[in-house]
Amino acid sequence: MCGFAGFFGGIASQGQAGDEAVLKRMADTLLTRGPDDAGYWSDQNHRIGLGHRRLAIVDLSPAGHQPMLSASSRYVIVFNGEIYNHLLLREALEAGGQAPAWRGHSDTETLLAGFDAWGVQGTAERAIGMFAFAVWDKQTGTLFLARDRIGEKPLYYGWQGRGENAVFLFGSELKALRVHPAFENIINRGALSLQLRHNYIPAPYSIYADIAKLPAGSLLTVSLQQREPKVWSYWSGVQTAESGVANPFAGTAEQAVDALEILLKDAIRQQMVADVPLGAFLSGGVDSSTVVALMQTQSSRPVKTFTIGFHEDGYNEAIYAKAVAKHLDTDHTELYVTAEQTMAVIPRLPTLYDEPFSDSSQIPTFLVSQLARQHVTVSLSGDAGDELFCGYNRYHLAAGIWNKVTTAPMPLRMLAAKVLTSISPQSWNRMAGVVRSVLPLSLPFANMGDKLHKGAGALESKSFDALYLNLVSHWHDPASVVIDGYAPPTLLAGEAPLLAGLDNIQRMMALDMLTYLPDDILAKVDRAAMGVSLETRVPFLDHRVVELAWRLPQAMKLRDGQSKWALRQVLYRHVPKALIERPKMGFGVPIGDWLRGPLRDWGESLLDEARLRNEGFFHPALVRLKWKEHLSGQRNWQYQLWDVLMFQAWLEEQ
């Protein structure tokens, strides 16, 4: 696991020393991504420079140093990630008589040999792993950028400046691009609008104008002759979902579970290869417990597992993780953190996440990464199980709502929505309080007004995609909150893929795999872990597992109201059902309560009306109204406020 940055084009610099000085400044911003080594390479004639920071995981010797040249001297690479099947790729090269005289055993050297034999795209298609890399082809004068299939590793790029002064910048994080002299630092208000809606900025956008994220599963080329970057997919999540549903697994349910277990074990075996200490995150839920169980079956010693616990009721999974760890006999470490320790992470968030990011589970994710790094350098995680095996409650909720509301004609639905929203949430809450005294306490009266207003949004939805966008949105009209805001098209709105043959639940799963998974979940884990120089690996995202998951019939994922059915059957072969079966619990913290309590002064400072007006990004009245309603307890606006606060905290750091 590493970090890299570079530049291409522009006016010739003051020589190699000048180029390396710029590259060093860029790469040094990525120190936590690569604390073990640094390297720089530049070519004055072609105005290309590559900088690298290394976290040594495989081949700790100088033979793994980057930037690295291919044996043919045609290609120069900077690489972030792991190629789990690189030894198999070496065997294929050797069998075809295309292997060089190996200098070491790093996967970086394997990639370069693959480029010489199969080309850049051919090698990316053969690779199983998580990766982002930049490759300079000396022969053609072309720069290649590539990103892994699902988007575990980040990669930003874009031209900055104009005319002959324009420079193409690229790197693992935005902070590396920011220190280049050509960087323009113009905030993209459309991207800010998207962050308020989703709590993350979806690819291909970034918070800066003219700087993009390379989409998952994509390759990019750019040259001085072809200055407009050409981007194309070498692997498509849309096609994988469509093909899987169209060509379902043909065996029995038992055979499907067998196939899933065999493939998961192979993916995990490959991801357990490291020349440094390795462990796993363990929450005690289905996904992480499955990963740890299959790790333990393939390990000669207890697997190191890590959990953080909270003293607050409703947020603590540590007791469940401890029970699973005891059953599997892992070497388990848990840490109970206080509210003060948790809140102490907040000042670090703008630097860790590098652009506005407001999924509040970023805080416990950082804490568990920090705990694990005290013992290991690599940790496996159970991320992506929800998206691949139908784990989120919202899938069933959205499909159920849509089935109900579409029984009524649209004019009647619009009228009902108008009636519901004509009464304020506070008034609905007061009425609910009156009737609650004569009805069973088990009925869901909490925040009744908010729920009815959200339900009104569902009634007004003209399509299932619109309903789902409504359910996963924080600010429903963020462009009205951002001064000069607008809504750029995304895969959830404006550029929705066809996803032919998928039903509504499968459609939500696919959209989450394409958007929420890479841009929220994987970004959250990558930045938190890399902030403490910890490599994380996600076995469920071996693309072979992804492809098999999409071939499993929906009845093998959602059965008799239970999600992740096939995955649970794999787990129950190793862990008793009684240790796993419980209501789903999110990995969160009580942000809403903290904003009314210990974080109130911090929030007030960032949301000060004069400050908002002077900065010029938000309409102060709309933000202040939600802040006052939240503080008074009238409404719970924790998510909407956290979106604004994370931008404000990020802006303060710039």
- Return the closest-CA partner of residue 305 out of 360, 372, 351, 369: 372
- Return the closest-CA partner of residue 531 out of 20, 129, 172: 172
Please tell me whether residue 86 adopts helix, strand or coil conformation.
helix
Helix H or strand E segment including 324: helix 318-328
Tokens, residue 578 = 């009684």
Please tell me whether residue 69 adopts helix, strand or coil conformation.
strand
Q: Is 390 a catalytic residue?
A: no
Cis peptide before 67 (omega within 30 of 0): yes
Task: Work out the end-to-end distance of the chain between its first and last CA atoms, rounded to an integer number of angstroms.
Answer: 26
Q: What angle do CA 30, 36, 39 make, to 5 degrees?
A: 70
How far is 290 from 574, CA to CA, in rounded Å? 8
For the CA atoms of 630, 632, 634, 638, the dihedral, rounded to the nearest 10 degrees, stands at 20
Q: 169, 177 in Cβ contact below 8 A?
A: yes
Letter string b/e over residues 584-610, b meaning 16 or more CB atoms within 10 A of that residue's CB: eeebebbbbebbbeebeebbeebbeee
Our separate counts of H helices and E strands in the chain read: 28, 17
Phi (first) and psi of residue 348, to 5 degrees: -85, -15
Name the active-site residue from 1, 2, 509, 523: 2
Please tell me whether residue 72 adopts helix, strand or coil conformation.
coil
**Which conformational region is residue 144 in: left (phi greater than 0), alpha (psi within -120 to 50 degrees), or beta?**
beta
How far is 187 from 613, CA to CA, in rounded Å? 16
Q: Which residues are catalytic?
A: 2
